[in-house]
Amino acid sequence: MQNNDNEQRESKERKKIPRLLRIGLGIIIGGGLGYAYYYFIGCNGGTCPITGNPWNSTTTGMVLGLIWTIK
């Protein structure tokens, strides 16, 4: 019985995404979504501080992706 429990625990650990990979994916996906927000929805006149500049919206998306993936 104890051997079966150890095998189940090891299989769960193998299936987990490593923490740094998960955080990296969160940053990349968040940056992509931030840029997409700028491209499709952002302000044209440049008056919006976050969405008026692609660097600001991408950085904001990266930070939000980082916050979302950290536990």
What pLDDT is attached to residue 33? 96
State the residue for tokens 């650990």. 13
CA distance 25 to 33: 12
pLDDT, greater one: 48 or 66:
66
- State pTM to two decimals: 0.74
- The helix, strand and coil proportions of the chain, stated in percent and rounded to the nearest 5, come to 75, 0, 25
Q: Structure tokens of 66?
A: 């980082």
CA distance 13 to 34: 32
Residue 71 has pLDDT above 90, yes or no: no
Summarised one tens digit per residue, pLDDT across range 41-54 is: 988 777 888 888 89
Summarised one tens digit per residue, pLDDT across range 9-37 is: 665 666 677 889 999 999 999 999 999 99
Long-range contacts of 37-46 (CB under 8 A, 24+ apart): 37/61
